Amino acid sequence: MKVLRAKSAGFCWGVERAIDIARDYANKGHHPVYTDGPLIHNRQMMEKLSAEGIREVGDYQSKADLDVAPAAAGQNPVMVVRAHGISPERRTYLKNLGMEFKDATCPDVGIIAGKIRLYARKGYSTIIFGDKNHPEAIGLMGYTEGRGHCITSKEEIDALPPMDRVCMVSQSTMFMHEFAELSAYARTKFQEVLVFDTICQATKDRQTDVVSLAQQGAQAIVVIGGHHSANTVKLAALARLQNLPTYHIETAREISEEEMKKYSVVGVTAGASTPEFLISEVCAKLEAL
């Protein structure tokens, strides 16, 4: 079987940076290294990090109070903020836990937060194109000074209150074509709308590469990543829009050899939280068919 691997498959630079930061603390003797929620949305990688002394506490949305015991003798704990970022209120809470604090928020997400804060202080309301239950969107809402709205559709824009001045941004991992459509629609609804394309380049590359796999002759597309990873689920949805059979799997064990033998050319991509070792295992198994 011929396997076409997307160039952008695997860790985005923001996720890789957060992992490197956490590992660096662990290697320098900080134990435990706490992360506020899962550092990445990949169970297999989290198991590896756990074995290295990196411990997930809290919940997916970074909302829950954390059960972190006072440092025992000889311990030097640190709290690491994951790539999704957090609200200013959450930052204050974490800094007051009595341990070292390290912000590993993806710089691309930090730029979005900065845009929101700048214009919120100028009196603008904020529209965020994103999933209101996703930790990135939850964190970004904290910078809106109480005038933020998270939307995913024209109907939700229609339901917004009257607003004179609007700053519109996107969660970093959303679909490019949807943001373009919704931001254009928002401009017809409000008097002044400043639109900032804040979908990160890694997401754009990943989405472009899925379309490219179809153009290169892939007869089916395999998307590797956590079944609950938002950006991986979106990749799988985009693959299906290419009218190709799409298989969203977490590991090579989920590949059905009988099913995949129907194809001679298969495209492979992976979410931003998918480690290289999982991608390599999948590609090797497919190439051996």
The C-alpha atoms of residue 288 and residue 126 are separated, in whole angstroms, by 51
Task: Tell me the H-state helices in the chain.
Answer: 13-27, 43-51, 88-95, 107-121, 135-141, 154-158, 176-189, 201-215, 230-240, 257-260, 276-287
Indicate if 89 belongs to the active site.
Answer: no
* Local structure of 209: helix, strand or coil: helix
The C-alpha atoms of residue 90 and residue 232 are separated, in whole angstroms, by 26
Task: Record the tokens describing residue 236, joined without a space.
Answer: 């799988």
Which residues are registered as beta bridge partners of 224?
249, 270
Residues 106 and 14: beta-carbon distance below 8 Å: yes
The catalytic position among 136, 156, 258, 259 is 136
Task: Record the tokens describing residue 213, joined without a space.
Answer: 């796999």
Amino acid (one-letter) located at 42: N
In this structure, what DSSP letter does residue 288 have? Answer: T
Percent helix, strand, coil in the chain, to 5, is 40, 20, 40
State the Cα angle at 245 between 240 and 251, rounded to 5°: 95
Of 25, 181, 173, 176, the closest CA to residue 85 belongs to 173
Strand 246-249 relative to strand 265-270, pairing: unpaired
Strand 220-224 relative to strand 246-249, pairing: parallel
Give the catalytic positions in this structure: 136
